[in-house]
Structures are given as structure tokens and as C-alpha cells.
Amino acid sequence: MMTITETGTDTKQFWLQERAALTGLPRGKGLNIAFEAVDRHVARRGEHIALRFRRKDRTSLDLTYSDLHRATNRFANALKRLGIGPSDVVATVLGRTPALFITAMGSLKNRSVFCPLFSAFGPEPIRERLRLGKARVVVTTEALYRKKIAPIIADLPDLRRVIYADGDFDGLLAAESDDFTIPPTSPEDPALLHFTSGTTGKPKGALHVHEAVVAHHATARLALDLRAEDRFWCTADPGWVTGTSYGIIAPLTHGVTTIVDEGEFDADRWYRLLQEEKVTVWYTAPTAVRMLMKAGREIVRNYDLSHLRFIASVGEPLNPQAVIWSNQVYGIPIHDNWWQTETGGIMIANIRGMEVRPGSMGRPLPGVEAAIVRHSDDRVEIISDPNVEGEIALRKGWPSMFRAYLGEEERYRKCFAGDWYLTGDLAKRDAGGYYWFVGRMDDVIKTSGHLIGPFEVESALLDHPAVAESAVIGKPDPVAGEIIKAFVALKPGFAASPELHDELLGFARKKLGAVVAPKEIAFLDALPKTGSEKIMRRLLKARELGLPEGDISTVKAS
Ligand code: AMP
């Protein structure tokens, strides 16, 4: 057996202590994320700014904890009036705006399940997710509705109500009382639904419960070094799990001021925000860091970043050069950390004060038992030797572990072997206990930090009348990590041409949205397949990278 930092009993004890650091619903009525994030601060820190929204035009809007308390109470009352109850799914297709945060917390107060969808998705990914989640309510804007939901509305029989953040949202809230008592909430009540992707099949709805807040709170303190007086900026979009766990929930539980940028990436805009908002803790992603590195070190001199005391990054491999660059240019390293939609919170991290080894994701947090394993069927063999490649496994029992893939018991069960959750990520652990990312075991693609399932992209291409077969891979890219590249074989009667190439790009973009659609398409006469007719994406990838095609089972993500 390898040595692990925490024994089973210690781990349990650790989480019990962390649970005790939270408040819990009054009169022992359970644990509710929204109470920990909002209501419990009102008495002592009601006038403290909870959220500062920086609009695209650089004006800003502040919501104090009391403002958020009242607005989320009103939203919870509105849901109740609409007949939306516990466990009903309330989805958002929204940018980083106040309505998104109010919907998240108001839904949790009502014990409904909050399901944020990335607003850059096209109609197809939105339809799949709203359908699978059986969403009852969706909060969006009029423009997003017209472009992305109107074309698919007929396929959403469970949807009862669309609320427009720039339409009836304010009126709906104004008509309600700002008084709301959160009903008793079991820590095991469902709270959050995050869709993620695998190699095959439909997107997977990872379901999290209210108890997850124990991990959100503890890991933000440990891995992001978050303290009540911080001014925190998480650059992730709340349409992905980081943007919810650490963009919405965790900072609120700590009572900090969160800066929310409604605009898109621009190096000057970002540095100005860090300066003007006196950001102290900044949680970002490797693609953004690489873009900042491209913008150069000169422009950094134009800004005062002296308030910044901690930088962390997640979502894809962080190049060692980025850590070194950060040390040189910002005067502090970037602390890489690792986790997944399924883990709900940070599991492995470089924490404050620990030696940062550039290129490593860090070590398991207290409360987290991680191992490098090999497994077959239900047997897990823990690899105790250092520097041996294997799968990252986590021992069950941390509070933010996903409790289900919605409606897919078998798929969920397959993620576990005995006591271990198998992550699907390959890594090595060095003699100091640091984890080094190697690659994914499946064919999912990480493009600009967004996890994309190849199957979803391939299916959309197959809807085009000219396409007989399609296969999608992640092609290494110096900035985005990977870009989506599709290979297609055409039906008889269709010929490859630059016009058809552009038409297919446009077709996929319209259906899937710019982030999910392929950036490159190549035509092939036929796609390589296994004996059982499975398309060999890995072979295509090996050819694309100019790697030997022999042992393709070892072809990994970049
Ligand atoms: P998601 O579920 O979308 O958050 O994606 C989770 C996946 O992103 C993980 O399983 C990894 O493959 C990848 N990932 C997350 N953090 C890191 C990291 N620090 N280094 C390398 N890959 C990462």
C-alpha cells in the first residue's frame, strides 16, 4: 500500500470538522448551500459587497449580501408561485450577470436543482441538456432565447416557463415578498446539475447535493487561500463547474467580495480589472494564462498588481513555463490545481506555502485520499512506486462527490471500483507526493478549458446531407491546448470542395455554437475502424500528430 496523507478515519474527522465550521439551517433544519452562501452573512456582514459586476462598458453594479438575500428570497418565492418545487430543475442560459447569481441561489433556497448551461452553446447542446435534465424553468435573455432556444422549444415538453433576465425577471421579483424561509434541507438533497461529456453517448448529468458546500468552503480556504476580506476574481464561466463551485458558491460562503467580469478576454481589460478592483485572489485557467503570456510582459508594467497575493489555475495542463513566467512577471507563482465536474471541488492542489513544482498539479488536499492505480473489473491495484503512470483514483467519501449521472445508473456504477472513484485521468506521482498530469484515458477534448465530447460534434456533422461518417479529435494547439478537428467521409454523389468545407464549418457552428464546433475539417475517403466498426479516433490522432500508428492504445491527449 502507498502512504496516504490521511487515513480513512482522519478523513472522516476532517470533513466533520469542516461541516461544523458552517452554520447549518436554523433550529437544526439541515444544510442548504444558499443559506451558507448568503443568509448567514446578513446579520454581521449584510452591507459588505458580495458581488461586483463589471459590465462590458466598464460601469459596475454592486450587490451586498443583504441585497442578494432579498433578491434570492424573492426569486425563491416566485418559483414557489410558479409551482416549481424541490428537485425540479431550474436552468440558466446566461452570461455572467446578476440574474444568473440570483437564479442560482434562489433556486437552491427553494430546494430546486440549479443547472447552469454555457451561454456560448448552440441550440443542439442546449436541447440535449435541457431535455436530459427535464428542466422546468430556464432563465435566459431575449436574444439568447431567439437564437438558441426558440429553434428547439418544441422538443422540451417538460419546460414550463422561460424567464427573461432582460424582460420579466425584474417584474417577477418585484411582485414577491423579500421574506422567505428556507425549508428543511437534507445534506443529501439534490442541488446542482452539471453536464459533462464522455467519449460516447449523451452528455452526462453529474448530480451534486447540498452537502457539497462543505467541500466548496473548505477547499476554497485551502487551495485558493480565500479569507473573508479578500477581493476574489474567478474567470471561469458559471456554465462550467468551476464557475459555479468557485465562481458563485465558495466565495460567498467565505463572505468575500467577488468580482464578476461580464466582458470577454482582453489582456488590457483583465489587468485593468486586477488593478482597479484590487483583486487579492485570482482563479483562472491555462488558456487565459497563455493568452496573457502572448500579450507580453511589457504591458504588465502599466498596471499596479500589488494587491494580488495568490493566483491559482485549473482545467487543463498548466505549462511549467507559465509558472516560471508568473513568478518573474507577477512576482508570485500560479498554483495549479486539479479536479473534475464529478468531484465537485478541488482535490489536488499546490497550496500556499508549499514548494511549487512547475508542471505539477500539486498534492491531494487534506480530506482527499488519492492514489495512482491500475484496475481491471472490480479490482484496484494501488501503485505505490513513484513516477509510474496510472489512473488517478479517489477514495469515496468527500462531500462534493457526484451522487449520480442523471438517469444512468450503470454509467455511474462503472466509475467506481470498490471504495475508489476512477477519474479517467492518467498521471504520475513523484516521491514527494506531487501529481503530474499525463493525459485522459478517453477521447474527450479540452479546448480553451472546455470539455467537449467528440460524439456530440460527430452527431451534429452527421445531420448534414453530405456526411456519411465523421470522427472528431483534439488537435494540439499552443494557446487553446487543443482545438477540435473533424474528419468526414462523404456520401456517394458528394465531392470534397472548399465550398463544402466552409458549408460544413458553418453548419456545425450554427448547431453547436462556436466553442463546440470544429475549427478544422478534413475529408477522407473512409474513416479507419476497428473490427467491431468503431471509428478509431486515436489512429486519426496519431496520424495528425505524425506519431507511429503501431501502438495506438498509448496515444494520448497532448
Ligand atoms: P471538467 O469536468 O470539465 O472540469 O474537466 C475535468 C478534466 O479536466 C480532468 O479530468 C482533467 O482531464 C482536466 N484537468 C482539470 N484540471 C487539470 C489540471 N490542473 N491539469 C491537467 N488537466 C486538468
The per-residue pLDDT for range 229-263, each reduced to its tens digit, is 999 999 999 899 999 999 999 999 999 999 999 99
Nearest protein CA to atom 22 of ligand 1, as residue: 316
Name which residue sits closest to atom 6 of ligand 1, judged by CA: 340
The residue that leads in pLDDT, 4 or 140, is 140
Per-residue pLDDT reduced to its tens digit, 36-52: 999 999 999 999 999 99
Ligand 1 centroid to Cα of residue 501, in Å, is 31
Show the beta-strand stretches assigned E in 314-434.
Answer: 334-338, 348-349, 363-364, 370-376, 379-382, 390-395, 404-405, 416-417, 420-429
Q: pLDDT, tens digit, for every residue of 73-108?
A: 999 999 999 999 999 999 999 999 999 999 999 999
CATH 3.30.300.30, the chain: domain bounds: 443-545
Give me ligand 1 centre to Cα 284, in Å: 13
More confident residue, 398 or 556: 398
Q: Do the beta carbons of residue 456 and residue 122 sit within 8 Å?
A: no
Quick check: 535 pLDDT over 90? Answer: no
- 141: closest CA among 106, 105, 167, 122? 167
Q: Give the distance (Å) from ligand 1 centre to CA of residue 328.
A: 26
- State the helix-helix crossing angle for 8-20 and 212-223, rounded to 10 degrees: 90
Q: pTM of the predicted model, to two decimals?
A: 0.95
Distance from C-alpha of 20 to C-alpha of 32, rounded to nearest angstrom: 14
The mean pLDDT value of the chain amounts to 95
State the pLDDT at residue 379: 87
Q: Give the pocket of ligand 1 (CB within 6 Å).
A: 196, 240-241, 314-318, 336-338, 340-341, 361, 423, 425, 437, 440, 446, 451
Check residue 383 and give its pLDDT: 97
CATH superfamily, domain at 443-545: ANL, C-terminal domain (3.30.300.30)
Predicted pLDDT at 477: 96
In the chain, residues under CATH classification 3.40.50.12780 are 2-429
At 5, is the pLDDT very low, low, confident or very high (cuts 50, 70, 90)? very low
pLDDT on residue 534: 83
Which of 283, 337, 339 maximizes ligand 1 atoms within 8 Å of its Cβ, making it the mutation to test the pocket?
Answer: 339
Higher pLDDT, 550 or 193: 193
Cα 497 to averaged position of ligand 1 atoms, centre (Å): 37
Percentage of the chain with pLDDT > 90? 92
Nearest ligand 1 atom to the CA of 423 is 10
Is the pLDDT at 197 greater than 70? The verdict is yes
- Among 121-135, 186-200, 273-287, 527-541, name the one with the lowest average pLDDT: 527-541
For 513, residues 6+ apart whose C-beta sits below 8 A from its C-beta are 118, 120, 121, 122, 125, 148
CA 212–ligand 1 middle distance (angstroms)? 19
Residue 107 main-chain phi, psi, to 5 deg? -65, -40
341 C-alpha to center of ligand 1: Å?
Answer: 9
Confidence of residue 126 (pLDDT cuts 50, 70, 90): very high
Distance 451 CA to ligand 1 centre (A): 8
In this structure, which topology does domain 2-429 adopt according to CATH? Rossmann fold (3.40.50)
Amino acid at residue number 217: H
* Atom of ligand 1 minimally distant from the CA of 342: 2
Which pLDDT value is given to residue 551? 54
